[in-house]
Amino acid sequence: MISTKLISILKKATLSKDEIVFLLSLSGKEEIEKLYSRADEVRKEFCGDEIHLRGIIEFSNHCEQDCLYCGLRISNLELPRYRMTSKEILKTVNCIVEANIRTIVLQSGEDFSYTKEYISDIIRNIKEKYDVAITLSLGERSFEEYIDWRNAGADRYLLKHEIANPRLYSAFHNKQKLGDRIHHLQLLKAAGYQVGSGNIIGLPGQTFVDIADDILLCKELDCDMASFSPFIPSNGTPFRKVEKADVELTVKTIAVARIVLKDVHIPATTALGSLVENGREKGLKTGANVVMPNFTPHPYRQNYKIYEGKICITDDPLASVGCLNLMIEGLGRKVSDGKGHSLKLFKN
Ligand code: 5AD
């Protein structure tokens, strides 16, 4: 049975926090299906049927931070660490371009051994050679670095706020504060980046109200991209025995985020694909419009171990992209041949 309350909420242009919490707490099968089909309609209206592939290079798993949930945390002494050189990174960029993917995501732990200049040179080298967009995901750095990298040609920056509850944020991040994180996201916007934020679903103590706040924070920050990915435990962390996230809650969050945020890019994350079979497909059917195939070369990729059981660890990246293409075709959607810039850039 579908309640009249649900029908009236799904017709609204703007949702209150209470209404978002109501949607996240839906439990009837029919009502959840209704939520998913509304999210898919909103996705179609604002993003069309194109799916954007972003080729990700996880170029260093060294991290200064000590986040309680993350396998890359500095205190995890079990993890073999690696750093890729600019030469190795550029070779990997070439593989991504050969797979016809036009966004390069450069991601690492917070590794300050890569200086402002070193990263700027990599960005310039990529931009001189290829017609691609560059997304950086390097954690919290200085405003000067953000400006320099933007001037070198970086287009986008991903910095998830992780959890919008300040008390839980402080409990999970030994050195960081939520206010600082938000400040960095504002600096990135001011520096002219297309900015991505988002949360982790299923962290201990997190409530539906917290998840509603996560979605609303992405709205308030006017994010161009927003990622809602499930918690999966990692060995070598204090959260190794915490239950993994609920699949349905993760997918509901993606759907509600699409309905609330409308014209943002939302990925069907690798973590969702690792949590459950066909996870990325589920995400794409319920609001997501982006997938991020992993191009980190062997032998490094097995050690970018944010959580256990990450998919495609042994695969050849080109084969993974081939599978993604087939999956996307199967959904009746289309892989974009553009760079997939912010959906907000072309609006007045
Ligand atoms: N499970 C799922 N996602 C995680 N991340 C970090 N640790 C985990 C985990 N255990 C996410 C964070 C970070 C991104 C690179 O990985 O959201 O921003």
Q: How do residues 103-127 score in pLDDT, each as one tens digit?
A: 999 999 999 999 999 999 999 999 9
Is the model's pLDDT at 329 over the cut of 50?
Answer: yes
Give, for ligand 1, the residue of 211, 227, 229, 294 to mutate: max count of ligand atoms closer than 8 Å to Cβ: 229
Q: Give pLDDT, residue 25.
A: 98
Domains of the chain listed by start with CATH number? 17-340 (3.20.20.70)
Between residues 315 and 171, the one the model is more confident about: 171
Neighbours of 222 (CB within 10 A): 13
Q: Give pLDDT, residue 77.
A: 98
Are 157 and 147 in contact by the 8 Å Cβ rule? The answer is: no
DSSP letter at 162 equals B
Q: Give pLDDT, residue 231.
A: 98
Query: What are 230's strand-pairing partners?
Result: 201
The set of residues, in sequence order, having a beta carbon less than 8 Å from that of 119 and lying 6+ positions away, is 106, 136, 138, 145, 149, 152
Query: DSSP letters of 188-201?
Result: HHHTT-EEEEEEEE
Is the model's pLDDT at 82 over the cut of 60?
Answer: yes
Give the pLDDT mean for 248-256.
98
Residue 169 main-chain phi, psi, to 5 deg: -55, -50
Measured distance CA(95)–CA(108) in Å, rounded:
19
Strands 290-291 and 50-53, by their bridges, are parallel
Measured distance CA(262)–CA(346) in Å, rounded:
15
Residue 300 main-chain phi, psi, to 5 deg: -70, -40
Give the pLDDT mean for 77-94.
98
Neighbours of 259 (CB within 10 A): 23
User: 25-29: long-range contacts (C-beta < 8 A, 24 or more apart)?
Assistant: 25/208, 26/252, 28/1, 28/2
Four-point Cα dihedral 25, 46, 43, 32, nearest 10: 30
pLDDT digits (tens, 9 = 90+) for 4-60: 999 999 999 999 999 999 999 999 999 999 999 999 999 999 999 999 999 999 999
Ligand 1 neighbours, Cβ below 6 Å, are: 69-70, 160, 162, 200, 229, 231-232, 234, 271, 306-307
Nearest residue to 292 (alpha-carbon basis) of 268, 315, 313:
268
Is the model's pLDDT at 348 over the cut of 50?
Answer: no
- The residue whose C-alpha atom lies closest to atom 8 belonging to ligand 1 is 70
Residue 339 main-chain phi, psi, to 5 deg: -85, -15
Query: What are 103's strand-pairing partners?
Result: 133
Is the model's pLDDT at 347 over the cut of 80?
Answer: no
Please state the atom number of ligand 1 nearest to the C-alpha of residue 232: 1
Q: How crowded is the C-beta side of 49, counted as CA atoms within 13 Å? A: 7
Measured distance CA(12)–CA(322) in Å, rounded:
39
Nearest residue to 294 (alpha-carbon basis) of 50, 52, 51, 58:
58
Nearest residue to 73 (alpha-carbon basis) of 230, 234, 228:
234
Give the pLDDT mean for 77-88.
98
Mean pLDDT taken over the chain:
97
Please name the helix (run of DSSP H) or strand (run of DSSP E) that holds residue 248, with its range, or none: helix 247-261
Query: What are 83's strand-pairing partners?
Result: 60
Measured distance CA(253)–CA(213) in Å, rounded:
12
CA 18, distance to chain mean position in Å, is 25
Q: Tell me the CA–centroid distance for residue 306 and ligand 1, in Å.
A: 6
Lookup: tokens for 231: 């918690």
- R_g of the chain, CA atoms, integer Å: 19
Give, for ligand 1, the residue of 234, 244, 276, 306 to mutate: max count of ligand atoms closer than 8 Å to Cβ: 306
Please state the atom number of ligand 1 nearest to the C-alpha of residue 107: 15
Is the model's pLDDT at 206 over the cut of 60?
Answer: yes
Measured distance CA(110)–CA(49) in Å, rounded:
35
Q: Give pLDDT, residue 346.
A: 67
pLDDT digits (tens, 9 = 90+) for 169-178: 999 998 889 9
Lookup: tokens for 177: 């504060």
